[in-house]
Amino acid sequence: MLELQNVFLNFHSSKGTFDSGVHHVLDDVSFKLYENETLGIIGRNGVGKTTMLRIMADILAPTSGVVRKRPGKTASLLTIGLGHKVDLSGRDNALLSAMLQGASREEAEGFLEEIKEFSELGDSFEEPVKNYSSGMKSRLGFTTALLSRVDILLVDEILSVGDAEFRAKAERAMKERIMGNQTVVFVSHSDQQVKALCDRVIWIDGGKICGEGNPDEVISAYRKSLRPS
């Protein structure tokens, strides 16, 4: 469905701590994402998990290497507040996002009441997003992506925000989508969520894939690596 082949990603950095001002974030990363699977990406803070999702979503081009997506397939990055036009209402943002993800205006309008109901934003749905809390933005972003149709859903930590009740509801809805043949790439620091939702896990560190495969085994190796020896 999607493949990264020998992907390198460098950022130019003003910090002197990196090699000649270049920060090598991804260093020869290759993997395949298969249709209908839920792939988890784990690793310490700052190792490049979000960067990988942004490359898969075509938001960021790799410094070198190839990203191949099956023709006609859409991928959408689900993250807090990304792409929200803050002067527009929740309703208009939901409409825009659904259309950007490939829905016609009519189809997108058809999703709006469902988005309002699931997100539990009430009258705030008609308010500008600049007045939203981060929890409210994530409810809007999560719900819009959940209810519109994308072939590959790229989920960045979004299930870890919001109150406990909404989080449980979001996790249940995500599970249903996964069961219903949605292809998902899921970045999370929650072992429990990754184990509950993912078929396969990739662990990255130092720009490389350090482990790949069964969630229990890869998470256990990752946790072991964090313990002081």
Ligand X SMILES: Nc1ncnc2c1ncn2[C@@H]1O[C@H](COP(=O)(O)OP(=O)(O)OP(=O)(O)O)[C@@H](O)[C@H]1O
46 binds ligand X (CB under 6 A): yes
11 binds ligand X (CB under 6 A): yes
Q: Which of 33, 42, 47, 95 binds ligand X (CB under 6 A)?
A: 47
Residue that has been written with the tokens 């309703």 in this structure: 91
CA atoms within 13 A on the CB side of 214: 4
45 binds ligand X (CB under 6 A): yes
48 binds ligand X (CB under 6 A): yes
Nearer to ligand X, 38 or 51 (CB): 51
DSSP state string for 63-110: SEEEEEE-TT--EEEE-TTTT--TTSBHHHHHHHHHHHTT--HHHHHH
Count of CB atoms within 10 A of residue 130's CB? 11
- H-run or E-run covering 7: strand 2-12
Least distance CB 21 / ligand X (angstroms): 11
Size of the site for ligand X (CB under 6 A): 11
Q: Mapping DSSP to helix (H, G, I), strand (E, B) and coil, where does residue 117 land?
A: helix
The footprint of ligand X on residues 51-90 (CB under 6 A) is: 51
Least distance CB 226 / ligand X (angstroms): 13
Interface residues toward ligand X, by CB under 6 A: 11, 23, 25, 43, 45-51
